Amino acid sequence: MKTVLITGTSSGYGRETALYFHAQGWNVIATTRTPRAGVLPESDRLRVVELDVTKPDSIAAALEAAGPVDVLVNNAGVPSISVFEGTPMARVREVFETNTFGVMATTQAVLPQFRERGSGVVVNVTSSVVLGHMPLSAVYKASKMAIEGFTSSLSLELAPFGVQAKTVEPGACLTTNFAVKATNGASLDELVPAPYAPWAKKAMDDFTGQGLFTKESDVAETVWRAVHDTTGQLRFPAGPDAVWLAQAK
């Protein structure tokens, strides 16, 4: 029986992925910054462990509590929507601390056991923003593009040891409250400098009017496929809109 450790499992893609792997008979270490009862079912094959990927001590403690793992899914992330001019640099650093440096730090912490064992898979969840030119996402896209580059090089470093690294690129999902989380509940008008407002409104209207969207289950199933893929594929778009963007690219 194999074990997967998944970050950011309190909701959305992370929670659905934890449920999916558990349903397939795996042991699941579901990590979250603030564990809450009732988010995931009680099971002797599912443990909820506290983990803040921006804190080295928290990463070390979570891995010690988890014990040996076969797969790491770096799913934890923070969203960001705004024009770059109106984004404080403090917010830019906050996004990168979780989306980029947190992924790198957690990966670095788990690699010794993978390398020594000669097996293991790292799946980094990025975003379909890396597949096309999307407005209002400069900071978020930059943080995810960094992980795409990181993973592509990492996969080459790990191959001699039988360890794999891959990315899953979810499309836009309407049920994860991405926009609300990205703006902390503020309206776009409050976040965007006035000269950008008409353009930003049109960009958001165009986005919400698109016909294709991703479901949480699309991402969970794609993570599962990435973990089990033996073809050497590096990037896995998840959801119909992401697949369309990847094909167009």
Listing DSSP states for the chain in one string gives --EEEES--SSHHHHHHHHHHHHTT-EEEEEESS--TTSS--BTTEEEEE--TT-HHHHHHHHHHH-S-SEEEE-------S-GGGS-HHHHHHHHIIIIIIHHHHHHHHHHHHHHHT-EEEEEE--GGGGS--TT-HHHHHHHHHHHHHHHHHHHHHGGGTEEEEEEEE---TTTTHHHHHHTT--HHHHS-GGGHHHHHHHHHHHHT-S----HHHHHHHHHHHHH--S---EEEESHHHHHHHHH-
User: What integer pLDDT is reported at residue 76 of this predicted model?
Assistant: 97
Query: Does 47 reside within a domain?
Result: yes
CATH classification at residue 117:
3.40.50.720
Which of 13, 20, 140, 196 is an active site residue? Answer: 140
User: What integer pLDDT is reported at residue 184 of this predicted model?
Assistant: 66
CA 116 distance to own-chain centroid: 26
Our answer to whether residue 20 is catalytic in this structure is no
User: What integer pLDDT is reported at residue 46 of this predicted model?
Assistant: 97
Query: Does 243 reside within a domain?
Result: no
User: What integer pLDDT is reported at residue 173 of this predicted model?
Assistant: 87
Query: Does 248 reside within a domain?
Result: no
| Domain ranges, residue 166 | 3-238
User: What integer pLDDT is reported at residue 192 of this predicted model?
Assistant: 87
Q: Name the domain count of the chain.
A: 1
Query: Does 222 reside within a domain?
Result: yes
User: What integer pLDDT is reported at residue 133 of this predicted model?
Assistant: 83
User: What integer pLDDT is reported at residue 185 of this predicted model?
Assistant: 64
Query: Does 246 reside within a domain?
Result: no
Query: Per-10-residue mean pLDDT for the chain, 249 residues long?
Result: 97 97 98 94 96 98 98 96 92 97 98 98 97 90 98 98 98 75 68 88 79 92 98 97 92
Query: Does 35 reside within a domain?
Result: yes
Query: Does 40 reside within a domain?
Result: yes
Query: Does 158 reside within a domain?
Result: yes
